[in-house]
Structure 1
Amino acid sequence: MCQVCHSVDPADRAPVDICHCGAPGTQAAFARIEADINRRRMIGGTAAVLGMFAGFGLAPREVRAQTPGRPLLLTNLRLFDGETLALRDGVDILIAGERIAALPPIGQGPQEAERIDCGGRTVIPGLIDAHWHATLVAVSQIVALTQDIGFVHLMAGREAGATLMRGFTTVRDVGGPAFGLKLAIDRGVVAGPRIFPSGAMISQTAGHGDFRLLNELPRFPDTPANYIERQGVAQIADGADMVLRAAREQLMKGASQLKIMAGGGVASLYDPLDATQYTEREMRAAVEAAEDWGTYVCAHVYTSTGIRRAIAAGVRSIEHGQLADEDTVRMMADNGVWWSIQPFLADEDSNAYTDPRQIAKQQQVAEGTVRAFDLARKHGVNVAFGTDILFNAQGGALQGRNLAKFARFMSPLEALHKATGAAGALLALSGDRAPYAGALGVIRKDALADLLVIEGDPETDLAWLETSETSLRLILKGGRIVKDMLA
C-alpha cells in the first residue's frame, strides 16, 4: 500500500480516489514486476548452484529426451519385465513421456515413433537398491560424524550420479539427511536415482544410531542435540512419546517410510549385536505414526528376539536379519513381512572396519548369511535386494557386484527379480507417501519408464553387473536417456 493511502482519513477513504494502487490493473502490474524480479533471482541462483555443482563434477549429464510429440519405441530386443522369471521375445516397448505406453508386438508400434534398435540385447527394468544410504556411502565414518556437512552432501551428490550410471535408477534410503539430495535430483540440478527417503534413523540411547563418544555422556533433558542429530543422520529418542515425536518429524520432512533401530549393529561401537533395542510400545509408537500417514516402518535388526518384537509391533520390513532362527523366519512369512537382506559374507567387498569389536560382529553376521538365504527360500519370505554399503568411499562401485552375489543363492533371474519387481513391491508399501506416482521395477503398461539395455545374458549369470561401464548400453530414467552406448 502506498503512503498516499495511509494519509487519507479512514472514514473518507472509500469515496476518495486519490491512489489506484488497489485497482485490479495496478495489482496486475505489481504481480508482473514481482514475477520478473523472482525470475531473475531464480535464474541467478540456479546458475550459481549449477556452477558450484559443475565445479565438483555434479552437473547433470547430457540427456536426450523424446522428441516433443513423438513417442519412443525400443525394438529388436529380449524382455525381462521384472515380474516373470523368463525372457520374452516378440514385443517392442513403447514409451510416451515418462511412462511405458504399451508392449506392442514387433512391427506394430506407431509409425511416428522415434525408434531405438537394441541390437537383440535384453531390456530390463531399472535396478532398485532397497537398503542404501545416499549421503553416507561415499565418506568414512569419521568424516560423516565430524566434517562439514556441506562436504558430505557434495560427496553424496557425486555418488548419486555414479549410482545412476551403475543402472540403479531407484534407491530406498534407510537413514541419513537425503531430503536435499532427493530434491536436487528431482529438480534436475544433480544426476542421480529416485530416492525413497527415511530421514534420520530413530534410535534409543545406546542403540545402533547412537554414535556419541563416551565422553559425551551423560545426557540431560536440556542437553542440546549432538552433531549427527543436528545434521539429520540419526535421532535419539527414548520412550514412546519421544519416539512418536521423532517419527512425526521425519514424516514432516518428507519421509516415505520410517527407519528404527531394533537391535545392535556392526558399525556402532557400544551396542552388542545381540542387544534388543526399543520396547514393543516404543516401536509401536513409530508404527502408529507411520500408519496414520499411510506408510510403514522398517527396522534394523539381526536377532530373532528383536525381529519377533518388531513384527509384534507392526513393522513391515526387516533390514538384515541374518541371525534369525527358523521359527522367526516362519513368523516373517506368516505375517507377510518383507526381508531386506544383504549378501554380508565378510569378504573383500565388505565394509572395512579396524576396531576389533566391529570386525568380530561383522564375522558373526557373515556366518549367518548363507543360512538366512536358505531359510528365506524354504519358507517363502518376501525378499528384496539391498546393499547397505556404508562409510566406504570405494564401496559404492561394488553395488552391482553385490547383486551378482545373490545368484549364489538363487537363479540369476530370481536374483534380478529381487532388485526389480520384488523391490518395487516393497517400495509400494509407502502408499500415498511414495514420492513418485507409478510402478517401479517392472516393464508393463503405465509403469515408469526406467529401463536398462544390457550387454549380457541374465538367464545365465549376472557377471555383467560388475562391468556396468561397458555392459549397460542404454539407461533411461523416466523416459529420458541418461546414457547411450548402443551406437
Structure 2
Amino acid sequence: MARLIFRNARLFDGRSDRCESAMNVLVEGDRIQQVSSAPIIADGATVIDVGGRTLMPGMIDAHVHAFFSDISVQKVEQFGESYRTAHAARMLGHALKCGFTTVRDTGGGNYGLARALADGLIQGPRFFYSGKVLSMTGGHGEIRDIWERPRYESICSCAGTVFSALGVIADGIYDCVKATREELRQGAHFIKIMGSGGVASPTDPIWMNQYREDEIRAIVNECVERRTYATAHCHPAAAVRRCVEFGVRCIEHGTLMDAETADFVADRGAYVVPTLIILEQLVELGRKMGFPPQNQQKAEAAWSGAIEGLRHMRAAGVKVCFGTDLLGDLYKHQCREITLRSEVFTAIEILHQLTSIPAEMMMLEGQIGCISEGAFADLLVVDGDPLQDVSLLAADGAYLRTILRNGELIKHVD
C-alpha cells in the first residue's frame, strides 16, 4: 500500500475557522491515517514537504450535470449517449484540475459513468449521482415543447412513466414511488425532484409549484427507507418552503429566497445549493448560444434576485453548499462561482461551503470535505492562504501545487 507524508503544512481541516501551523499528515492507500503536529515516520513513505503552504481538503461541487452537453435540453437528447459521455469526460477532467475532488451530479449521471471513473477509464472527481430527475408532466423535467405530442415509450407495459436521457416523468403516488425505486435500484445515491418551474424547460413558468404534497412525501419516504435523502429543484420561496416542510433534505438553487423562508429553512436544518454562475452566464451569453427567448427571460428574472437570495440565506444562518449547474461549454466557468459568492460571504464561509457543509448534506461527514483520520485522501496544497484570499481557488487550479484524489497524485509541483 502506497504511503505519502505531507510535512510542514499549514492545515485547514475543512471544519474549523482557522489553520494549524507545522502539521503533518500520513496517507496510506486511499485514506488519511494520521494527522499530527509531531513528526511522522513511516517506512517506505514518499515525503512531500509542503513548505508552510496551505493543505486543505479537496473541494466539492454539489450541483453538476455531467451529461448536459448543451444549453438546449432538446439537443442533449438528440446528440446521443456517446456525445454526452465525451462531454462528461472533458467536463469532469476540468473539474479535477481545478481542485474539485468530489462532484454531485443532480440529474442524468448514472452507474456507468460512476464505474468508469472508479475504474480509471476516465479521470475525474469522486462521483455521486441522483440518476434521472423526477418531474411531473409539464414540469421542469419536460423536454417536449408546447406543440409536441407524447412520443416516449413506457419503461414497462404496466406503467405510464416516460423518460429521457436526463429525467423521468412520473405522476401520482404509484408512479413516483416506482420511479424512485427504479433510480435507487440503479445505484442512485439520492433522489432529485423538480419542485418548481425552471429556466431551461420549455413550457413551465418559473413561479410554478410542482408535485403535490402526497407525491413529495411518498418520494421522501422511499429515500428514508433506503437510508438516503431527497433534494428538490426550487427557485421561488413558496416552492422552497413547501418542499422543506414535506421532508426534502436539500434545495437546489433557492434563487428567489425571501427572509421568512430562509428563517424557516434554517430552523428545519435543511441545506441549500445556490448556483449563481449558470444564471450569470446565461444572461450574458444565452442569446449568442441560441437560448430560446422564453428561457432567456426566465434566466434574467432568476438572476435579478439571486444575490439578494444569498443575503437572506446568510442572515438566517442557512447551511449553504457550493454548486454550479453549468451546461454545455459553460463548464469552463466553474471556479467563477467562488468569485460571485464573495459578494456576500466571507472567505471562510465559502471554504466551508466547498468542503464540510456539502459533505454533511450528502451524509458523508468525516469521509470527504475534511482532513481527519479515516477520511478519504482528497487533498489540495494551495500556494497561498485561501482563508485570507479565496480567489486563489477561483483561478482554475493555477495556485494548486498538489492535487490528491483518493490517494492518487493527480498533480504535484515541487
Q: Structure 2: how far apart are the matches of 1:257 and 1:86?
A: 32
Are 1:287 and 1:296, in contact at CA under 8 Å, matched by a contact in 2? yes
Q: Structure 2: how far apart are the matches of 1:342 and 1:148?
A: 26
Alignment match, 1:44: none
SS of residue matched to 1:309:
helix
Which has more helix, going by share of residues?
1
Which has more strand, going by share of residues?
2
1:427 corresponds to 2:362: yes
Are 2:252 and 2:274, in contact at CA under 8 Å, matched by a contact in 1? yes
> Amino acid of the residue matched to residue 261 of structure 1?
M
Are 1:138 and 1:159, in contact at CA under 8 Å, matched by a contact in 2? no
Are 2:278 and 2:325, in contact at CA under 8 Å, matched by a contact in 1? no
Among 377, 380, 400, the residue aligned to 1:449: 377
Structure 1 residues 137 and 439: CA distance shift in structure 2, 3 A: farther
- 1:363-421 alpha-carbon deviations (Å, 9 max, x no partner): 2211221221111111111111111112x31x212111212322221111211110111
Are 1:99 and 1:446, in contact at CA under 8 Å, matched by a contact in 2? yes
Q: Identity rate of aligned residues, in percent?
A: 35
1:465 corresponds to 2:390: no
Alignment match, 1:258: 191
SS of residue matched to 1:439:
coil
Are 1:240 and 1:282, in contact at CA under 8 Å, matched by a contact in 2? yes
Q: CA deviation at 1:469?
A: 4.4
> Amino acid of the residue matched to residue 389 of structure 2?
D
TM-score for both structures, normalised by structure 1: 0.79
Alignment match, 1:81: 13
Give unpaired runs (5+ residues) of structure 2.
none
1:385 corresponds to 2:322: yes
Q: CA deviation at 1:251?
A: 0.3
> Amino acid of the residue matched to residue 208 of structure 2?
A
Runs ≥4 in structure 1, deviation > 6 angstroms?
219-225
Alignment match, 1:407: 342
1:164 corresponds to 2:99: no
Are 2:74 and 2:143, in contact at CA under 8 Å, matched by a contact in 1? no
1:102 corresponds to 2:34: yes
Are 2:136 and 2:171, in contact at CA under 8 Å, matched by a contact in 1? yes
Q: After alignment, is 208-217 or 121-130 more displaced?
A: 208-217
SS of residue matched to 1:172:
strand
> Aligned runs of 1:269-308 on 2, under 5 Å?
269-308=202-241
- Report which of the two structures shows the higher radius of gyration computed on alpha carbons: 1
Q: Structure 2: how far apart are the matches of 1:345 and 1:144?
A: 17
Q: Structure 1: how far apart are the matches of 2:193 and 2:303?
A: 22
Are 1:401 and 1:465, in contact at CA under 8 Å, matched by a contact in 2? no
Structure 1 residues 263 and 127: CA distance shift in structure 2, 3 A: same
Among 259, 267, 290, the residue aligned to 2:200: 267
Among 280, 288, 300, the residue aligned to 1:363: 300
Structure 1 residues 223 and 256: CA distance shift in structure 2, 3 A: closer
SS of residue matched to 1:284:
helix
SS of residue matched to 2:362:
helix
Structure 1 residues 149 and 421: CA distance shift in structure 2, 3 A: same
Q: Structure 2: how far apart are the matches of 1:220 and 1:180?
A: 23
Structure 1 residues 177 and 422: CA distance shift in structure 2, 3 A: closer
> Aligned runs of 1:315-330 on 2, under 5 Å?
315-330=248-263
Structure 1 residues 219 and 231: CA distance shift in structure 2, 3 A: closer
Are 2:61 and 2:324, in contact at CA under 8 Å, matched by a contact in 1? yes
> Aligned runs of 1:6-17 on 2, under 5 Å?
none
Q: Structure 1: how far apart are the matches of 2:286 and 2:384?
A: 31
Structure 1 residues 203 and 345: CA distance shift in structure 2, 3 A: closer
Alignment match, 1:238: 171
Give the alignment's Cα RMSD to 1 decimal: 2.4
Give unpaired runs (5+ residues) of structure 1.
1-67, 432-437
TM-score for both structures, normalised by structure 2: 0.92
Q: CA deviation at 1:216?
A: 2.8
Q: CA deviation at 1:220?
A: 10
Q: CA deviation at 1:326?
A: 1.9
Structure 1 residues 387 and 222: CA distance shift in structure 2, 3 A: closer
